[in-house]
Structure 1
Amino acid sequence: MYLQIVQQVKDALRLGLLDVGDQLPTVREVVAAIGINPNTVAKAYRELERDGLVVARPGRGTFVASSLGSPSVEHHDALRRGLLAWLREAQRAGIDEESIRALVSSTLREALDRRVA
């Protein structure tokens, strides 16, 4: 579960949903929202801090220290809208979430392999 929290924060950083200086929810707030063990949240925050993505300020909270987003990703609203349209179409076609993830993952790998080759 802690890895899911780490991944969600990293995704938010990549997408520009979190900016440097933003405060993450407190451990207590996360526990209240999703009902998991506080140690799980603390472990996720420690890993993010080890990765240099957040900084814990005792008595004040945990804050974003660096971003994973690139300016090129943050400014491609048209691509994001296209992706959302494709996802809606896939859902209308009855494709389940796991199949969508597998399709996106394999297509991304294929595209990256071609770019490297």
Structure 2
Amino acid sequence: MVEFRIDKASGLPAYLQLARQVREALRLGWLKPGDRLPTVRDVVATSGVNANTVLKAYRELERAGLLEARQGSGTFVKATLGSVDPEVMDRLRAKLVDWVDEARAAGLENEDIDALVGSVLTEGERIEVP
């Protein structure tokens, strides 16, 4: 089951944070087709957002074909985003945890780590200007 976290300081609307967390759980294999998501009431109680925010996130994911609302039963995962073997993802995640621990020990804060990872991810996308 997914435990939603809302960062009020992020600048990203809460419904997009919820949707992003579901997508991440799908990519990482933590959620699989057939899994039931927390009820709107449960998400409201644990995250502090209002019911309309949760419904908006769930509807967006439903429109994307990832979730399915079943009247009286709840909201269920309909499709997945992960295409990599879960064992490979677990192994890479463990290496990343070690790397993040090393970065923090070196004095980097989360924003520094985000910037560093972002620079590596976009490295191949940069166009050199003469």
SS in 2 for 1:56: strand
SS in 1 for 2:69: strand
Distance 2:115 2:21 in 1: 18
Residue deviations 1:67-98 (CA, integer Å, cap 9, x gap): 000134x2313322111100111111121111
SS in 1 for 2:75: strand
Q: Does 1:98 align with 2:116?
A: no
Match of 2:35 among 6, 13, 22: 22
TM-score by length of 2: 0.81
Match of 1:2 among 15, 18, 31: 15
Q: How do 1:15-94 and structure 2 match up within 5 A?
A: 15-72=28-85, 74-76=86-88, 77-94=90-107
State the aligned residue count.
112
- Larger relative contact order (Cα-Cα within 8 Å, sequence gap ≥ 6): 1
Distance 1:80 1:43 in 2: 30
SS in 2 for 1:3: helix
What letter matches 1:37 in structure 2?
Answer: N
Distance 1:54 1:78 in 2: 27
Root-mean-square deviation (CA), in Å? Answer: 1.3
- Give the percent of matched residue pairs that are identical in Structure 1 and Structure 2: 57
TM-score by length of 1: 0.90
SS in 1 for 2:68: strand
What letter matches 1:38 in structure 2?
Answer: A
Q: Quick check: which one's helix share is greater? A: 1
Structure 1: 4+ residue segments shifted above 2 A: none
Residue 113 of structure 1, CA deviation: 3.1
